[in-house]
Structures are given as C-alpha cells and as structure tokens.
Structure 1
C-alpha cells in the first residue's frame, strides 16, 4: 500500500477502528500526536493545558537532575515507547505510546527511535479528554509490559496516585496531595514534594 493511502487510512474516521503496527506508524506524516494501544489509534484531542506543561516540566527537571551521571535516563514527550509482546520486529509491535515522562534504567532499551521495552517509571498527567486512555487503556498495557511504577497526576484535583507492580499486578497507593512528599521505588533515592508540584493550584 502506498504511503498516501496509509495516511488517508489514519485521517479517515472509520480507520480509527482498524488495527495497526509500529511499521504502519513509521509511515504516517501527521502534525498531531498519535499513539497506538494494542493496534488502535488514539489521537491527542487538544494541546496540553498550561498546568499540565508546568507540572511535566518541573517533574522532568527534578528527575533529570537527580539522574545526572547515573545509568537511568529521564525522557519527556514526545518520546516513543514501543511495548513489544511477541517480538521486537516493527511489524509485530502494536503498542507505541508517548508517556508525559518516563525513566529508563536499561541502556539496551534505548535506540534512535526511542525506547523498546518497558520503562522503569512512567508519569502521566491527566488532561481533559484523555482520562480514560490514561486510567484504563494505558494502565493495562503498562501493567502487562512490566512498567515497575506508574504515576497518575490529576492537575485539577491536585492529586497523585502511584501504581507499583507487585507479582504482575498493580498495587495502588493512597491518594497523595498538597503537603505530601512521595518517594519512588523504581528510581532509587528520588523524592518529590507535591507542595512544589501543585503550588498555586486550588
């Protein structure tokens, strides 16, 4: 199939019900961010809000500084994370996500296209229109692929929930908010002051 035909398949609404792979994904020329979750296309509905960008920037900066001169690396979206199931062949991978922030501690998972395999830590910041994707669809693929720790931040409510992978299942923390300091189990020595993260909100 020609490249233009693939692009039209993505832009035509009925194609949103098709099944695609990373090999298809690489051929698309699109201005908006697109993710694949188990072969299904998810488009970003709108640009992230200012609160989303401020929180993402602050957390990434804290992680980046904490990991300086260490093996683990922090990355911020847009950054492709491929989550293989059967094999690492482009034609076999049908989940490609762009976490707001992720930390990868295995350098063998990093290539010029992004990350192939589960990051150690993923941070997602909810935005209007993406809550179901983050809370349900991504939760499942992160759990199944072996992401050790999954943080979900709700800017409007000023809350954070941490899901920790224990025996292939996610165990949820209590709800953290203003005044709490949280520590990562996946990134050794990293703590985050939520008073700083949610400053000026609520």
Structure 2
C-alpha cells in the first residue's frame, strides 16, 4: 500500500458511536466540543445512546495498532469522521478523529495534514491545501497551537468559508441545523435497522 501510494481513511472515531462510561456518548463527555452542539444535536446524541447495539463493541485498540502499523510503513493516512454512522456528527467528530490519530502515533502536524493538505492532494483539489492568493479561503482560526497539542483545534475563534466569515453563533436553532439533524437521524435509523437485522436479539427461552 505504501509503495502504491494507496491512501487510507482510518475512521478511528467509529468508536465514538458507542456510549462510554455511565452510558454517555464520547462527544457529550467532552465539554469543549459539546458546547458547540446545541440542544438539537445533544438530544439526538442522547437518543442514540439508548439505541440497539450489536453484541460486541469495536476493539478500538486493535484499530489503533493497525493505524500505527500503516503509519510506520509510510502509508498515506487521511482523517475522516465516517459520518453519517450513528452518533458521528460532521465537524465535531472530525476533531475527535484528529485526537484518535494522535493517540495512534501520528504527530499533531501529521494529523492536521491528514485533515487538510493530504486530502486535497489525494483527491486532486488544486484550489485549496495552502494559504496563498488565488486559492479557496476555507480557514479556521484558533488561539492555541494545534501543531503541538491537537486538542487546540477545538477552541475555535473564527471560521471563513470561501473567504466569507461564518457567524458561528447563528447556527444553533437555525433551519440549516434542523435540516442537518433530521438528515443524519434518518440515515442513522436506516443503518441501525440494517445492523439489527444482521444481529437479531435472541428469542426468549431459546437454548444458547
């Protein structure tokens, strides 16, 4: 894979689709991210925490070791949250994915590249991946040093989309938020229903 330059989107954050300690979803347990979600996303996460779950949860450490091995052999790794899998929210879950990549052995700068410049190169998006005149100005401003501490990406001061400043305070309660929550919930319901058919609950009284 390394010799052929085949990239891998690790999606380690799939583990965040399952409740952690005390049945709380990982995104809600991380207050610096949870405060950006607003009531609608929070309700959906809490509802999903009580959904049907498969009999065995993913072995996160095994996935982490696989990513560590890929990285050590020079395989190109990209960051992806794997939304719309249940409880994985576009945007917020990507911050969690960056943290997972660092825990798997990538340096903070390598994790940032996996979410920005490398996807642009891999997918041939020549209008972005650098900050210079003439390129698409999709920018996230943070006061900290994510090149040293990847969690600094979560403290967002400002965002620009194609050079236009985004009003971060207007999203919660907006029509855009409602449409996004409804769309993700509908997809989640389909995925959960399909998985439940693969692992139906045992019938009462059946010998096992």
Give the TM-score normalised by the residue count of structure 2: 0.26
The structure having more radius of gyration, on CA atoms, is 2
Q: Higher RCO, 1 or 2 (CA under 8 Å, sep at least 6)?
A: 2
